A = this chain, B = another copy of it.
Amino acid sequence: MQVDTASLAREFEATGGDGTPAYERIKRVISDRIRTGKWGEGERLPSEHQLVAALGISRMTVNRALRELADSGAIVRSMGVGSFVAETRAVSPLLEVRNIADEVQRRGHRHSTRLISLAAEDADDRPFAADSMTDRVYRSVIVHFEDDTAIQLEDRLVNPALVPEYLQQDFTSSTPNDYLSRVAPLTRTQLVIEAVLPTDEQAAVLGIESHEPCLQIRRSTWSAEGLVSVVRLTQPGARSRLEGGFDS
């Protein structure tokens, strides 16, 4: 295989400087090329030996990067043959990321929101650090009402690198979900669903007793550029449920 070692090395060097480990930088360079389509499905990757020569690092480091990419499913490796960009497979969505305003209106009710807070913060756990090299996050806290009943508390962190205009939006007329799906179409979603008791603060803004069980949904959404938003939705169990389904 003919490799453009020069541009590969350039992209690799460009990610240096901060303390990012070399194997992470290799992973990033390669997965960027896959994500942007520069390396298409089934295409052969440079061999470990070629990457060693091109990037000036040891083979163990290259090996770790490629192995982790293979573990994550981004590439496929075959002993004695080589490494190749994986064929992507479609997965049917179980729970679509739906607009809560639409759902409420579909039930024939009135949807409204109350903005609790909207500001930039210093992130403790830096969820977007890998994508945006920053510790700052935008955070919005919003309560959704169905008619006059609070049905959901939305506590959202947004990546300022990918959505710089977030703080300027008017979330009384459109929801964060609306806005984000316009400016950063999502390519990947991940969910964690739990049954929890609300904190006293959560119970207060939702207008429920603190012993009422709640569904808590933590949802991370990615666009092509990276992790866009992490949201924690808290819904009183007595007022909401999740529905989904899929064929196989």
- A-to-B contact residues, CB < 8 Å: 60, 88, 90-95, 186-197, 211, 213-216, 235, 237, 240-248
Contact = CB atoms under 8 A, between A and B. Distances in A.
17 contacts: A88-B247, A90-B247, A92-B246, A94-B94, A94-B244, A94-B246, A95-B244, A186-B248, A187-B247, A188-B247, A189-B248, A191-B242, A193-B193, A193-B241, A193-B243, A194-B240, A195-B235
A56 to B, nearest CB: 21
B191 A243 contact: yes
Chief secondary structure at chain A's binding surface = strand
Given A94-B94, A95-B94, A190-B244, A214 B215 contact: no
A187 B237 contact: no
B195 A215 contact: yes
A215 B195 CA distance: 5
A94 B193 contact: yes
Contact of A237 (B191, B213, B235): B213
B237 A196 contact: yes
A195 B244 contact: no
A215 B241 CA distance: 11
A118 to B, nearest CB: 27
Copy tally for this chain in the complex stands at 2
Contacts of A248: 93, 186-189
A243 to B, nearest CB: 5
A218 to B, nearest CB: 9
A197 B214 CA distance: 10
A63 B107 CA distance: 27
A188 B188 CA distance: 23
A191 B93 contact: no
Given A193-B243, A195-B235, A215-B215, 17 more contacts: A60-B60, A90-B247, A93-B248, A188-B248, A190-B243, A190-B244, A191-B242, A191-B244, A191-B245, A194-B241, A195-B195, A195-B196, A195-B215, A196-B237, A197-B213, A211-B211, A213-B214
A119 to B, nearest CB: 29
A243 B192 contact: yes
A102 B197 CA distance: 28
